[in-house]
Amino acid sequence: MCVREGAAVILPEPRGPLSADVVRALRADGEVRRDVEATDEEDFHLSLWLLYELHYRSFEGVDDSLEWSPPLLALRRALEEQFEAELRGACAPLVARAEQADGVPDQLAAIASFDSGTSLPLFLQREATRDQYLEFLVQRSLYHLKESDPQAWALPRLDGPAKVALAELQYDEFGGGRPERLHSRLFAEALAAAGLESSFGAYVNRVPSYTLAVNNAMSLFGLHRRLRGAAMGHLAAFEMTSSLPCRRLLQGADRLELPEAVGHYFDEHVEADAVHEHLASRGICGALVGAEPDLQSDVLFGAAACVHLDAVVAERMVDAWTHGQSTLLAEAGENVA
């Protein structure tokens, strides 16, 4: 099994005029045109994802100094304002309902227990074909190959018990002192064992906007100090909705007789995330709101954003599969069936 680490990410294919202009600007000096707008969700979220990735691994052939290019940052800001406003609108009902509970941990639990009516882990556990399960791994690769990186931006923005709890949680995610146990590495091994590409960004051209949006939300929250409450609320909801689903994903992988490394990744998260759930909800969010009460509504907003975007992903993927369609975008030049 071959796991490629640190391979350069190739700039993706544009999905419309805005992402085409961003790709062009990234290959040049960062000057974007001001008169170009995204034509649809695909064009919008790929553009935002491209701009965010400058802060992580960037792309082959792109000057590292473009991370702080004023025209690119101005465009990012405009896209973020639109995305954040949409998210806040979509999350308002969930947040209002959660606020009826007492205390941050119970409010987070109310959000985490939201049932959209479509469960992706349940589908993968019981019904998915092998190809559908592999599509799921491909879509998830965009996050899990840089697992926990977006939350790391929050560390210098926290202090005291919340900082200590986040460091403890991330120590696990980043391997607990052992490179071979980095969670991103475990996911890369799962991909490679399943015969898939294991380098970061290898599948970005196949991943639809609703999964890009999941990743963009984490970067939005992580890269803005003013959204540190949302970043930690998002993390809490992520961990609180992980342990039981990972058990289902493990059972799905076993049912389909996928290679052991696939089940191993999810097995690792059944127990780890049961611990992380408490660390994130009480240790991080409880302590953070205790220290900075004004952050409470953003903690709930971040948690609701996680649950809302996950529900969109579940609905879109299960809907496609039950109609016999692939959830992946066609590769350039490939005919869509």
Tokens at residue 52, please?
């965010």
Residues in a beta bridge with 127: none
Please say whether the dihedral angle defined by the alpha carbons of residues 19, 146, 219 and 212, taken in this order, is positive or negative: positive
In angstroms, give the least distance from the CB of 326 to Fe ion. 27
Distance (Å, rounded) from C-alpha 309 to C-alpha 316? 11
State the number of binding residues for Fe ion (CB under 5 A).
Answer: 4
Nearer to Fe ion, 139 or 209 (CB): 139
Provide the 3-class DSSP secondary structure of residue 123. Answer: helix
Residues 177-206 that bind Fe ion (CB under 5 A): 183
In angstroms, give the least distance from the CB of 61 to Fe ion. 31
Q: Is residue 144 a contact point for Fe ion (CB under 5 A)?
A: no
For Fe ion, which stretch binds (CB under 5 A), given 171-179, 250-258, 277-285, 326-334? 171-179
Q: Are 256 and 263 in contact (CB under 8 A)?
A: no
Nearer to Fe ion, 114 or 174 (CB): 174
Q: What are phi and psi of 253, to 5 degrees?
A: -65, -40
What is the x/- site pattern for Fe ion, positions 39-68, by CB under 5 A? ------------------------------
Nearer to Fe ion, 148 or 209 (CB): 148
For Fe ion, which stretch binds (CB under 5 A), given 121-129, 188-196, 256-264, 274-282? 274-282
Distance (Å, rounded) from C-alpha 135 to C-alpha 141? 10
- Tell me the HSE value of 36 on the side-chain side, using a 13 A CA sphere: 18
Distance (Å, rounded) from C-alpha 257 to C-alpha 148? 28
Q: Is residue 273 a contact point for Fe ion (CB under 5 A)?
A: yes
Residues 225-264 that bind Fe ion (CB under 5 A): none
Q: Say which residue the tokens 């709890």 belong to.
A: 165
In angstroms, give the least distance from the CB of 322 to Fe ion. 29
Distance (Å, rounded) from C-alpha 98 to C-alpha 257? 40
Nearer to Fe ion, 45 or 183 (CB): 183
In angstroms, give the least distance from the CB of 179 to Fe ion. 15
Nearer to Fe ion, 23 or 272 (CB): 272
Q: Which of 276, 277, 310, 311 binds Fe ion (CB under 5 A)?
A: 276
Distance (Å, rounded) from C-alpha 104 to C-alpha 112? 12
In angstroms, give the least distance from the CB of 173 to Fe ion. 5
Q: Are 289 and 281 in contact (CB under 8 A)?
A: no
Residues in a beta bridge with 174: 182
Q: Is residue 277 a contact point for Fe ion (CB under 5 A)?
A: no
Task: Summarize as ranges the residues that interact with Fe ion (CB under 5 A).
Answer: 173, 183, 273, 276
